[in-house]
């Protein structure tokens, strides 16, 4: 078996053991999603209009406006997504792009 195959098999075995409750020695990553995200700040840092930001990242215009006006707040997964946009907008655009890379 190749090294890659061995590594994949070991990872699968570790995941199964963890699922069965064997957590000793398991590495765990804790993800912290911020309680508040300043959507306007993210959009303005990217020098995008409401329309462009909504279109590029897949948001509804009305929802975006409500977030920025403080009428509504993005929920957990959306706050996490907005943090990714803030940190690496090009990676998000690349991931969402319908163009296939050569």
Q: Which helix (H) or strand (E) holds 78?
A: helix 76-87
The angle subtended at Cα 85 by Cα 49 and Cα 75, nearest 5°, is 95
Whole-prediction pTM value?
Answer: 0.69
pLDDT at 47: 98
Q: pLDDT for 55-78, tens place per residue?
A: 999 999 999 999 999 999 999 999
Buried-state track 47-75, b at ≥16 Cβ within 10 A, e below 16: ebeeeebbebbebeeeebeebbeeeeebe
Give the span between the Cα atoms of 23 and 55, in whole angstroms: 43
Report the percentage of the chain scoring pLDDT > 70.
96
């Amino acid at each position: 078996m190749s090294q890659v195959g061995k590594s994949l098999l070991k990872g699968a075995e570790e995941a199964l053991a963890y699922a069965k409750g064997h957590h000793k020695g398991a590495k765990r990553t804790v993800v912290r999603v911020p309680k508040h995200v300043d959507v306007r700040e993210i959009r303005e840092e990217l020098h995008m209009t409401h329309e462009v930001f909504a279109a590029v990242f897949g948001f509804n215009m009305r929802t975006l406006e409500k977030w920025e006006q403080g009428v509504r707040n993005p929920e957990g997964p959306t706050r996490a997504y907005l943090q990714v946009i803030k940190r690496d907008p090009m990676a998000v655009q690349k991931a969402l792009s319908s163009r296939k890379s050569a």
